[in-house]
Amino acid sequence: MSDLLYVAYPWVKSLHIISVISWMAGIFYLPRLFVHHTEQVQVGSETDGLFQMMERKLLKLIMNPAMIATWLFGLIMVATPGMIDWASWWPWIKALAVIGMTWFHMWCAGQRKVLAAGQNTKAGSYFRKMNEVPTVLMIVIVFSVIAKPF
């Protein structure tokens, strides 16, 4: 099994990076949709329906599959013996940041449901501020994996 993991590693890593890029595109865009949905759209209007459809499709057709693929390929890489120095801090810090990114994904899913139900009480500025969370997590993840400062 180890031999197969070593041979597949560059391909799995490539698929992991592609999945991460797709996931992050959605993670950055969905809260921006929430900002405009909150600030520019009246509940029950035709535009409200359009925003709901865009938010739902972004989450269900792009973000969810990309998150699942990111986790799948990431866990396969983790299972490859000798590729990660578990005595270092960086894999643990990355793991916490990825869990944080997953929490943010779930938070987005919850906010989408609130907006779809017409029950949003948050201002656009709230969604603007929340949109900084994945940026900070992304920075932590990239520095953890590439620079390994920990």
What tens-digit pLDDT sequence spans the chain (150 residues)? Answer: 778 989 999 999 999 999 999 999 999 999 999 999 999 999 999 999 999 999 999 999 999 999 999 999 999 999 999 889 999 999 999 999 999 999 999 999 999 999 999 999 999 999 999 999 999 999 999 999 999 987
Nearest Cα neighbor of 105 from 144, 67, 51 is 67
In 41-118, which residue ranges form alpha helices assigned H by DSSP? 46-57, 64-79, 90-116
Q: Distances in Å between the alpha carbon of 131 and those of 11, 32, 78, 123, 149?
A: 31, 7, 29, 13, 25
Q: Distances in Å between the alpha carbon of 48 and those of 59, 91, 106, 116, 125?
A: 16, 42, 22, 8, 19
> Tell me, what's the pLDDT at 1?
73
